[in-house]
Amino acid sequence: AQTVTQSQPEMSVQEAETVTLSCTYDTSESNYYLFWYKQPPSRQMILVIRQEAYKQQNATENRFSVNFQKAAKSFSLKISDSQLGDTAMYFCAFMKSGNQFYFGTGTSLTVIP
């Protein structure tokens, strides 16, 4: 079975600072994908970034980047230059073949002005 663990239920960061959200997963699969989704107060689920497990290079999308450590089964999200609009719940997700998704319990991030 696949499990995704987000050990930080809540975090806060000062505006313009950098914050890292942690995620670990457990799987015996060799080929899979990892995602971070953002859920602002509007409740809409928004894709932030994705990482293919077979790629060694860490994915980057503007201010968002990941630190993917395959051997350690770790997939952390770094948000640089935090903005008020980054305030949201962030979910780490694992996907294996067959489009089977497994989500973590989420980290609630608050950006403080």
Which residues of this chain interact with another protein, rule CB under 8 A? Answer: 4, 6, 9, 33, 35, 37, 42-45, 47, 50, 52, 91, 93, 95, 97-101, 103-106
Taking the least distance from each CB to another protein, the nearer of 9 and 83 is 9
Q: Least distance (Å) from another protein to the CB of residue 72?
A: 21
Q: Least distance (Å) from another protein to the CB of residue 106?
A: 6
Q: Least distance (Å) from another protein to the CB of residue 91?
A: 6
Inter-residue contact 21 to 76 (CB < 8 Å): yes
Taking the least distance from each CB to another protein, the nearer of 51 and 82 is 51
Taking the least distance from each CB to another protein, the nearer of 18 and 100 is 100
Distance CA 23, CA 73 (A): 9
Measured in whole angstroms, how far is the alpha carbon of residue 53 from the centre of its chain? 14
Q: Least distance (Å) from another protein to the CB of residue 14?
A: 26
- Indicate if the alpha-carbon torsion angle 12, 18, 39, 23 is positive or negative: negative
Taking the least distance from each CB to another protein, the nearer of 66 and 106 is 106
Residue 64 dihedral angles phi and psi, to the nearest 5° = -105, 135
The 3-state DSSP class for residue 86 equals helix
What residue type is 54 in one-letter code?
Answer: Y
